[in-house]
Amino acid sequence: MRTFSDWDGKRQGFVEIDSPGAVLTARTTNERLALLEDSVSPSYEYLSPELQKLWRCLSLFPGGFDGVDAGAIWGINEAAAQEFLSLLLACNMLQWSESPPQYKLHDLLRLWASARCSDDERRSVQQELAEYAATILARANEMYRRGGEGLRQALDVFDRKRANMEAGWGVGLRKCGPG
3-state secondary structure of 98: strand
Spatial separation of the C-alpha atoms in residues 34 and 30, rounded to whole Å? 6
- pLDDT for 15 equals 41
pLDDT value of residue 16: 46
Q: What is the structure's pLDDT at 158?
A: 85
d(CA 36, CA 30): 10
Long-range contacts of the stretch 118-124 (C-beta < 8 A, 24+): 121/53, 121/56, 121/57, 122/60
User: Is 54 buried (19+), middle (13-18) or exposed (0-12) by CB count in 10 A?
Assistant: buried
- Provide the whole-model pTM: 0.74
pLDDT in tens, the chain (179 residues): 555 444 444 444 444 444 455 555 666 777 777 778 878 888 899 999 999 999 999 999 888 999 999 999 999 999 999 999 999 999 999 999 998 889 999 988 998 999 999 999 998 988 898 898 889 889 999 999 999 999 999 999 888 888 888 877 665 555 555 54
Per DSSP bridges, beta strands 95-98 and 13-16 are unpaired
CA distance 123 to 129: 10
Please tell me the predicted confidence (pLDDT) of residue 26.
Answer: 60
Listed as own residue / partner, the contacts of 113-118 with beta carbons closer than 8 Å and 24 or more positions apart are 113/55, 113/56, 113/58, 113/59, 114/56, 114/59, 114/60, 115/29, 115/33, 116/56, 117/56, 117/57, 117/59, 117/60
pLDDT score recorded for residue 14:
42
Q: CA nearest 100: which of 76, 69, 143, 59?
A: 69
Whole-number pLDDT of residue 177: 55
How many residues are recorded in the chain?
179
CATH number of 1-117: 1.10.10.10
Contact yes or no for 76/38 (Cβ under 8 A): no
